[in-house]
A and B are shown apart, each in its own frame.
Chain A
Amino acid sequence: MQGSELQKYFHEPLFIADIKATTKNDAIEELLNLFLETKHIRNRHIVLEMLHTRETLGSTGIGKGVAIPHGRTTAASDVLIAFGKSEAGIDFDAIDGKPVHLFFMVIAPPHDEDNVYLPILGSLVTTLNIKKNRDKLKKVETFEEFLSVITGE
């Protein structure tokens, strides 16, 4: 999946240029709240439990300052991605032990019609493995700037 195909899963209300959270749990909750505020998800408890359970499987902090908390849940109907950025960085138990600055939360329903969930995760990992992309994302202030990095424009 190309960056240009990824963009339809991002929406401005699911974008935070400056995450307030300072802990892993708070960061997860802050991003999840975006889905609740936009009514993409109504049952907070179920999705939060799923996300915490996912972290017990292994931290979604993939290193290099990036975390991609994710999961399928029966409480969601669409595949959507929230983005948040922390300038200070947050300890997320990342595999390299370094603080996380870039957060992508991917929530998917139990089965998505176009089977895009895993390709989305793969595309995010590929995009974020590129240092130039990470450096640019750390500087974005607006949703438009963010999308231009994701789409590679």
Chain B
Amino acid sequence: MLKKDLEMLVALQDLDLMIEEADDVEKLGFNITGCSELKNARDELAGRLSKSLLFRYERLRSKLKRAIVPVKNDICLGCFLRQPTSIGTKGREDDEIFTCENCGRMLYWID
């Protein structure tokens, strides 16, 4: 897997979160008119991912709500468990996607 794939997954999750909360945001007083455009954009983005990666993402999302979580100061912000420092070094640089050993979510280093 390439980092580009991970960035696409991040964008996909950001879109999914937006769609998921659109109704709640509208109730607060925001103007929500483009839900169908957003869903189309989501499908288009999902179509650019390999089937296996998309399946992995969807499965994690259905099980854990968030499939990819930020890692900051070596802490997985999904389950708040500290990740081994060695994984952090590789996670920032390698093409490989790492998952949290505790919660199983995909990890995205933001520091």
Which A residue's beta carbon lies closest to that of B25? A121
Whether A57 lies near B28 (C-beta < 8 A) is no
Whether B110 lies near A42 (C-beta < 8 A) is yes
Whether A43 lies near B110 (C-beta < 8 A) is yes
Partner pick for B28 among A53, A71, A122, CB 8 A cutoff: A122
Whether B77 lies near A109 (C-beta < 8 A) is yes
A62-B29 in contact given A74-B10, A77-B70 (Cβ < 8 Å): yes
Partner pick for A75 among B41, B78, B110, CB 8 A cutoff: B110
Within the complex, what minimum Cβ distance (angstroms) separates A1 from chain B? Answer: 12
Within the complex, what minimum Cβ distance (angstroms) separates B20 from chain A? Answer: 9
Q: How far is the CA of A82 from the CA of B32 in the complex (A)?
A: 22
Whether A46 lies near B111 (C-beta < 8 A) is no
Which A residue's beta carbon lies closest to that of B108? A74
Within the complex, what minimum Cβ distance (angstroms) separates B74 from chain A? Answer: 12
Determine, out of B11-19, B47-55, B83-91, B94-102, the stretch whose residues face the partner at the interface. B11-19
Q: How far is the CA of A91 from the CA of B78 in the complex (A)?
A: 38
The answer to whether A58 has its CB under 8 Å from any CB of chain B is yes
The answer to whether A38 has its CB under 8 Å from any CB of chain B is no
Q: How far is the CA of A82 from the CA of B16 in the complex (A)?
A: 24
The answer to whether A54 has its CB under 8 Å from any CB of chain B is yes
Whether B34 lies near A56 (C-beta < 8 A) is yes
Q: Which residues of B contact A70 (CB under 8 A)?
A: 25
Q: Which residues of B contact A59 (CB under 8 A)?
A: 31
Within the complex, what minimum Cβ distance (angstroms) separates A49 from chain B? Answer: 6
Which A residue's beta carbon lies closest to that of B32? A58
Partner pick for B70 among A54, A71, A75, A125, CB 8 A cutoff: A75
Q: How far is the CA of A41 from the CA of B78 in the complex (A)?
A: 18
Q: Which residues of A contact B65 (CB under 8 A)?
A: 111
Within the complex, what minimum Cβ distance (angstroms) separates B46 from chain A? Answer: 14
Q: Which residues of B contact A56 (CB under 8 A)?
A: 34, 37-38, 41
Mark out the residues of chain A between 43 and 85 whose CB falls within 8 Å of any chain B CB in the assembled complex. Answer: 43, 45-46, 49-50, 53-54, 56-60, 62, 68, 70-77
